[in-house]
């Protein structure tokens, strides 16, 4: 089954998790263009990502109950895969950078509880909300997976022309810093 964008933005995870013993899984390919925050810094995003997609794979489930409890906590596992066009920091041309988000989120009853538990937990801890914007969560995870510096595997620095004397093998690190500042 496939969900509309609107349905992805208003998910009751309790209802999803109650659907079966293993909860509920949804896999879908969504247009990359709807993730506008992720694309905020992509120049010319409209034309570059027109046909690109994000492959999303989520599962909502209740963890096994501890003895005496009727059921365990509600979890959401998120996987999302795409590629975004970023600017290569060496040649300053676009480079397609693969992104992979893979995150587990545990839900608790209140914001206070989430704040108290999130710091020590390996997973993300969020307060349960009956209408969760799962797309926003996926987008957050993708944004966090964007590398600080994007580079082609192999390319020449901007302004480089064939036959030019090669730069020293190990450039002075301070010269590199100065160059970075100039590029800003
Ligand atoms: Zn490059």
Measured in degrees and rounded to the nearest 5, phi and psi for residue 115 equal -65, -40
Distance from the CA of 11 to the center of ligand 1, in angstroms? 40
Distance from the CA of 154 to the center of ligand 1, in angstroms? 7
- With tokens 């620095």, the residue in question is 157
Beta bridge partners of 100: 81
Q: Does some domain include residue 168?
A: no
Q: Does some domain include residue 91?
A: yes
Contact 73, 106 (CB under 8 A): yes
Q: Does some domain include residue 57?
A: yes
Distance from the CA of 101 to the center of ligand 1, in angstroms? 24
Number of domains in the chain: 1
Distance from the CA of 156 to the center of ligand 1, in angstroms? 6
Measured in degrees and rounded to the nearest 5, phi and psi for residue 99 equal -120, 140
Contact 18, 70 (CB under 8 A): no
Measured in degrees and rounded to the nearest 5, phi and psi for residue 116 equal -70, -35
Q: Which domain covers residue 104, as residue numbers? A: 5-161
Structure tokens at 139: 């987008």
Distance from the CA of 6 to the center of ligand 1, in angstroms? 37
Q: Does some domain include residue 50?
A: yes
CA angle centred on 46, ends 131 and 98, rounded to 5°? 75
- The candidate with the shortest Cα–Cα distance to 80, out of 36, 32, 151, is 32
Distance from the CA of 151 to the center of ligand 1, in angstroms? 5
Other Cβ atoms within 10 Å of 78 Cβ, number? 21
Q: Does some domain include residue 173?
A: no
Q: Does some domain include residue 122?
A: yes
Residue 153: per-residue pLDDT: 92
What ranges in 19-65 are assigned the alpha helix state H?
Answer: 45-48
User: Tens of pLDDT along the chain (184 residues)?
Assistant: 689 999 999 999 999 999 988 899 999 999 999 999 999 988 777 787 888 999 999 999 998 766 776 788 999 999 999 999 999 999 999 899 999 999 999 999 999 999 999 999 999 999 999 999 999 999 999 999 999 999 999 998 877 776 655 555 555 555 555 555 555 5
Distance from the CA of 148 to the center of ligand 1, in angstroms? 15
What ranges in 105-172 are assigned the alpha helix state H?
Answer: 111-118, 134-144
Q: Does some domain include residue 175?
A: no
- The candidate with the shortest Cα–Cα distance to 105, out of 125, 127, 122, 80, is 125
- With tokens 């659907």, the residue in question is 19
Q: Does some domain include residue 178?
A: no
Distance from the CA of 1 to the center of ligand 1, in angstroms? 40
Distance from the CA of 90 to the center of ligand 1, in angstroms? 5
**b/e code 30-66 from CB counts within 10 Å (16+ = b):** bebbebeebbeebeebeebbeebebebebbbbbeeee
The CA R_g of the chain, rounded to the nearest whole Å, is 22
pTM higher than 0.85: no
Distance from the CA of 39 to the center of ligand 1, in angstroms? 19
């Amino acid at each position: 089954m496939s969900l509309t964008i609107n349905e992805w933005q208003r998910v009751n995870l309790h209802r999803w998790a109650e659907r079966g013993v293993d909860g509920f899984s949804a896999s879908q390919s969504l247009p990359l263009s709807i993730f506008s925050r992720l694309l905020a810094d992509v120049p010319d995003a409209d034309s570059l990502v027109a046909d690109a997609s994000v492959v999303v794979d989520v599962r909502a489930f209740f963890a096994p109950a501890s003895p005496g409890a009727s059921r365990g906590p509600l979890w959401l596992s998120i996987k999302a895969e795409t590629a975004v066009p970023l600017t290569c920091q060496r040649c300053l041309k676009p480079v397609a950078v693969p992104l992979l988000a893979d995150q587990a989120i545990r839900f608790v009853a209140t914001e206070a509880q989430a704040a108290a538990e999130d710091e020590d937990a390996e997973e993300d801890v969020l307060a349960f909300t009956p209408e969760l914007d799962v797309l926003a969560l996926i987008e957050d995870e993708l944004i966090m997976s964007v590398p600080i510096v994007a580079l082609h595997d192999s390319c020449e620095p901007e302004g480089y022309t064939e036959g030019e004397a090669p730069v020293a093998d190990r450039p002075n690190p301070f010269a590199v810093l100065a160059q970075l500042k100039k590029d800003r």
